[in-house]
Each structure stands twice: as structure tokens, then as C-alpha cells.
Amino acid sequence: MTAYMDHKDLANETIDPARIQEITDGAHRVLDLIAQTEFTSGREEGSVTLLAATKTRDVGEIMAAIDAGVHMIGENRPQEVIAKIDGLRYACLQRGIVLGASDMQTVARLDETDDPEALDRLPLHLIGQLQSNKIGKMLPDVNTIESVDSFELAEKIARRAAAREQTVGVLLEVNESGEPTKSGCAPDEAFELALRIAQLEGLELQGLMTVGAHVDDEREIRRGFAHLRDVRDRVRDSDAEGTATCVELSMGMSGDMTYAIDEGATIVRIGQAIFGERDFK
Ligand SMILES: *Cc1c(COP(=O)(O)O)cnc(C)c1O
């Protein structure tokens, strides 16, 4: 288990007003920057979704971000999902929101509402690496797994999802920068791999994901984002089975979100610009 989990109670829900304000201001700054960049890039208003990257943050901090208007939640580690999901789900329901992929029986059990179908939904994505022995634990809760980078992993997820008579969203993660520390398939394999994954029953290929190059060179960062967009376009327009849903481009973090939006991101994954610097890695 990751060390910081021994030092921080991720299920904690109590949060002081100054910290709520800090997170609210951070989320509003990011939402404003997204809107401004959509405008300057000629993107349609509201075409970029703000995913709050919530690793190392506790339930109280995450609920402050949700109250401030973030559109979805992205967790890196299955253990963090497990530690937080009950608290998050309950706090969301108190606000009339269904978090993640909870089925309607779970919702009805936790909530007295007459019409659970009428509740708002807030998607929960897994954005970090997933080991196959954790797939079963994630499927009841996550809508989309953004970190699928091999056919073998996609097949394992598909098998578990089909057994549950469930369809889970996946994004194919591509290592556009080629940095050896990063996960993701090779850029020149992405197209073929996406077509194979798109055919799997139990999965819905929703798009592609990448982590921007860790460099200062704007052109280098943009090149990776533009290549991801090009692969997405070719997959979506291929007419191959299961590819019509391949529309999302999850790219852009606190440091490079404006480039990503300009290059076509539909989801930006933002941690530190909302919550502040992380105390733990
Ligand atoms: C942490 C993380 C983010 C957010 O990074 P920030 O620099 O905190 O905005 C985005 N994507 C992934 C996969 C991450 O692990």
C-alpha cells in the first residue's frame, strides 16, 4: 500500500472553511480558464469537461470540489477508490447526485427518493494503472477506465464486465511522449489497438488518453496532443465495429491544459490547480 495512505485518512469528511474556500477558488479559476480557452481556441462553449484528479485528497476535499462545480472525478489507485467510495457516494446522494456507476438498486437502498432515475449523475473515472486482480473491485463503481494500454488488459476487463452484464467505458492510453516512466501504448500502435479493443463485448471504447510530455517545449507538448487527436479522428471515422463512440480526448493537466484544449481535448484532468500542491506523491 502506498505510504501516504498510512498518514492520511482518505475517508475523512470534516474540512475547515478556509480549506473549502481554497478548493472552491481553485475550481472556479480552472473553470474560468477552460471557458476562456474554449473561446480563444474557437471551441464550442461547454465542450471541455473538467475531471478533478483526486489522488491523495480525502472525501471532504473532494466534496468541496464537487460543490464548486467540477464535472467528474478521476482516481488513480483502486485502493483509494475503495477507501473513499462509500463516503463519497453518500455525500453525493445527499446532494441529489449519483456518483459513478452505482446501479439503481444501490441508489434506491441508500436514498429514499421516489425516482432514482431523475437524479443527476457524476461520472467516476479510473485514471491510473489497473492491475488485473483489481478489475472486479472497480467495476461496480467506475464508469470509465482511462488507463487501458494493452489488448490483454482490455480483454480481461471486458470478460469481467460481460460476466456482470455491464458495459464499462474505456479510453486507450497512449504514451505520446515516449518517456519510459510513462504508461500507455506506443503511438504507432494506437490505431490498430483501438480498433481491436472497440470490438470487445462488455466494453465501450469512448476515446483516447495521454499524459503530456514532461518538457518546457510547447511545440513538443502540442505535437503529442495533436497526434492523439489525429488517431481519435481516424478511429472514429473508420466505420469499424464499435468505433462510433470513440470521441473523447482526455489530455491536459494543471501545467498544460490550455495547449490541450487548443488541440482538441474533451476532458482535462486537473489536480493541483484545484486542490493545491500535493503533500504526498
Ligand atoms: C495526478 C494526475 C493528473 C493531474 O495532475 P496535476 O498536475 O495535479 O493537475 C492527471 N492525470 C493523471 C493520470 C494523474 O495521475
pLDDT tens for each residue of 42-83 = 999 999 999 999 999 999 999 999 999 999 999 999 999 999
pLDDT at 262: 98
pLDDT confidence tier of residue 259, bands split at 50, 70 and 90: very high
- Angle, alpha carbons 198-203-206 (nearest 5°): 65
Q: Atom 7 in ligand 1: which residue has the minimum CA distance?
A: 254
Q: What does pTM read for this prediction?
A: 0.95
**What's the CA-to-centroid distance between 254 and ligand 1, angstroms?**
7
- Structure confidence by residue, pLDDT tens digits, 233-244: 999 999 999 999
**What's the CA-to-centroid distance between 253 and ligand 1, angstroms?**
6
Going from the C-alpha of 167 to that of each of 164, 204, 205, 207, the distances in angstroms are: 9, 7, 10, 15
Q: Please state the domain extents for the chain.
A: 8-275
Q: Atom 2 in ligand 1: which residue has the minimum CA distance?
A: 53
pLDDT confidence tier of residue 27, bands split at 50, 70 and 90: very high
Residue 119, pLDDT > 90, answer no
**What's the CA-to-centroid distance between 53 and ligand 1, angstroms?**
6
Residue 281, pLDDT > 80, answer no
Bridge partners, residue 49, by sequence: 267
> Which is more confidently placed, 139 or 2?
139
Residue 111, pLDDT > 60, answer yes
Q: Atom 13 in ligand 1: which residue has the minimum CA distance?
A: 127
Ligand 1, residues 77, 171, 253: which to mutate, most atoms within 8 A of Cβ? 253
Q: Which atom of ligand 1 is nearest to the CA of 270?
A: 9
Bridge partners, residue 122, by sequence: 99
Ligand 1, residues 2, 54, 62, 127: which to mutate, most atoms within 8 A of Cβ? 127
pLDDT at 118: 78
Q: Atom 11 in ligand 1: which residue has the minimum CA distance?
A: 269
Q: Which atom of ligand 1 is nearest to the CA of 146?
A: 13
Q: Homologous superfamily of 8-275 in CATH?
A: Alanine racemase (3.20.20.10)
- Structure confidence by residue, pLDDT tens digits, 175-210: 999 999 999 999 999 999 999 999 999 999 999 999
pLDDT at 40: 98
pLDDT confidence tier of residue 279, bands split at 50, 70 and 90: confident
- Percent of the chain past pLDDT 70, that is, above it, reads 93
> Ligand 1: residues within 6 Å at CB?
53, 55, 76, 127-128, 211, 253-254, 269-273
pLDDT at 110: 67
Q: Distance between CA atoms of 130 and 148, rounded to whole angstroms?
A: 8
Q: Which atom of ligand 1 is nearest to the CA of 76?
A: 15
**What's the CA-to-centroid distance between 269 and ligand 1, angstroms?**
6
**What's the CA-to-centroid distance between 56 and ligand 1, angstroms?**
11
Residues whose CB is less than 8 angstroms from the CB of residue 197 and which lie 6 or more positions away in sequence, other chains included: 148, 151, 154, 170, 172, 203, 205
